[in-house]
């Protein structure tokens, strides 16, 4: 196989267009096109850069008689295990596939979480309209409950499908990994390009969550009569919409950034963090179902949906504390 064909094959493995590869090599798209059509040959500097991007050796690129070794991944996996005990080998292709799936599933996960937060909004708003005399009580309860269950059902479906897509990569959160040549460089490049967007989304998400209390503050100031107090449920609905928007932005940014940290084994995904995450995961598998059961039981018994939503922010804060204490104990 000649150099031109190898460039085409390796570029397509990473899902890169000619323009993408040209940007990484700091050349024009026409230059890449000429290389792939064998009209010209890249210089040595570009060859070295391509070997890093593709995760292959320069010998493989330059020697026509040298074909791709199919068993390379298996051999490196064996080497990684023998060198590091129980290390899992991650190839460049596997890392690229993982990042693509995270980029695809993270917005869906964010929307699913937002749906869970928004699920009681219609019910709460209808309760407000009912108190104001605009909607009969039976209609308000029926429409609100139907909307609540539909949104939760759609969200659960999204979570199940995303979990199926990402299940093959669960080891990145718990196992020590060994990356192929070029993986770290590719991931660090993507992470650096995403930093600004990550910071912006996190900042906006936090601002939205902080500002979410404004509707209730405004409502408490203007609700001086019983009739005016009936608009409080409507303001709670606005509060939940603002919170859902903020949380959506935070999850979108955090999910993608976490995918980079998992491969680079940085932040919460270093060796110590992975050990702690196993313990936190076991706690979470019990904690959140109990919270959900408590929320639904309280809500249906009291039918005070305009109040029971407070379970979620309180539960989130408490879980953060539990997770922090667990990680601290693991380090000790």
Distance CA 179, CA 80 (A): 9
Domain contains 235: yes
Domain contains 83: no
**Between 121-131 and 232-264, two packed helices, what is the crossing angle to 10 degrees?**
170
Domain contains 75: no
> Do 101 and 208 reside in the same domain of the chain?
yes
> Do 107 and 219 reside in the same domain of the chain?
yes
Domain contains 41: yes
DSSP H helices, the chain, are 3-13, 18-25, 29-36, 44-54, 58-62, 72-84, 92-118, 121-131, 137-166, 171-174, 183-211, 214-222, 226-229, 232-264, 271-302, 305-308, 311-331
DSSP state of 180: P
Q: What is the CATH number of the domain that holds 33?
A: 1.10.260.40
Q: Is the pTM of this model over 0.85?
A: no
State how far the alpha carbon of 304 is from the alpha carbons of 46, 128, 156, 295, 296, in Å. Answer: 65, 12, 24, 11, 11
> Do 245 and 109 reside in the same domain of the chain?
yes
> Do 177 and 124 reside in the same domain of the chain?
yes
> Do 246 and 122 reside in the same domain of the chain?
yes
Distance CA 278, CA 274 (A): 7
> Do 115 and 47 reside in the same domain of the chain?
no
Domain contains 19: yes
> Do 119 and 221 reside in the same domain of the chain?
yes
> Do 259 and 307 reside in the same domain of the chain?
no
Domain contains 151: yes
Q: Please give the residue range of the domain that contains residue 100.
A: 89-269
End residue of a domain, out of 245, 269, 293: 269
Domain contains 278: yes
> Do 255 and 125 reside in the same domain of the chain?
yes
> Do 35 and 54 reside in the same domain of the chain?
yes
- How distant is the alpha carbon of residue 267 from its chain centre? 15
Q: Indicate the number of domains in the chain.
A: 3
Sign of CA dihedral 197, 200, 201, 202: positive
Contact 119, 110 (CB under 8 A): no
> Do 204 and 316 reside in the same domain of the chain?
no
Distance CA 124, CA 98 (A): 40
Domain contains 79: no
pLDDT tens-place values along the chain, 332 residues long: 788 888 888 888 877 888 888 888 888 888 888 888 888 888 888 888 888 888 788 878 887 766 654 434 444 444 444 444 456 778 888 888 999 999 999 999 999 999 988 888 888 888 777 777 777 878 777 888 898 899 999 999 999 999 999 888 888 887 777 777 678 888 888 999 999 999 999 999 999 988 888 887 887 777 666 555 667 778 888 888 999 999 999 999 999 999 998 888 887 777 666 667 777 777 887 888 888 888 888 888 887 766 777 787 788 888 878 877 877 776 66
> Do 247 and 134 reside in the same domain of the chain?
yes
Contact 125, 234 (CB under 8 A): yes
């Amino acid at each position: 196989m000649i150099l031109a064909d190898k460039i085409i094959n390796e570029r397509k493995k990473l899902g890169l267009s000619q323009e993408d590869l040209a940007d990484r090599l700091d050349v024009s798209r026409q230059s890449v096109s000429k290389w792939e059509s064998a009209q010209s040959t890249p210089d040595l500097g570009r060859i070295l850069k391509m070997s890093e991007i593709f995760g292959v050796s320069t010998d493989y690129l330059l020697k026509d008689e040298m074909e791709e070794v199919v068993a390379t991944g298996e051999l490196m996996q064996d080497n990684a295990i023998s060198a590091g005990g129980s290390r899992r080998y991650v190839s460049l292709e596997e890392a690229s596939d993982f990042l693509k799936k995270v980029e695809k599933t993270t917005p869906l996960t964010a929307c699913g979480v937002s749906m869970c937060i928004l699920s009681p909004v219609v019910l709460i708003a209808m309760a407000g309209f009912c108190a104001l005399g605009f909607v009969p009580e039976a209609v308000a309860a029926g429409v609100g409950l139907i909307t609540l269950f539909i949104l939760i059902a759609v969200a659960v479906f999204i979570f199940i499908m995303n979990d199926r897509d990402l299940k093959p990569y669960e080891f990145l959160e718990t196992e020590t990994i060994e990356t192929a040549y070029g993986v770290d460089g590719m991931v660090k490049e993507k992470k650096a390009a995403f930093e600004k967007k990550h910071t912006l989304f996190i900042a906006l998400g936090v601002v939205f969550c902080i500002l979410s209390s404004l509707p209730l503050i405004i409502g408490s100031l203007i609700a001086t009569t019983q009739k005016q107090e009936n608009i409080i449920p409507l303001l709670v609905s606005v509060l939940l919409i603002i919170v859902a928007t903020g949380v959506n932005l935070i999850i979108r940014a955090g999910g993608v950034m976490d995918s980079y940290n998992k491969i680079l084994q940085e932040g919460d995904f270093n060796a110590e963090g992975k050990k702690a995450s196993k313990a936190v995961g076991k706690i979470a598998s019990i904690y959140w179902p109990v919270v959900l059961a408590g929320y639904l039981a309280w809500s249906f018994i009291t039918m005070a949906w305009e109040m029971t939503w407070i379970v979620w922010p309180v539960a989130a804060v408490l879980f953060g504390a539990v997770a922090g204490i667990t990680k601290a104990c693991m380090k000790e």
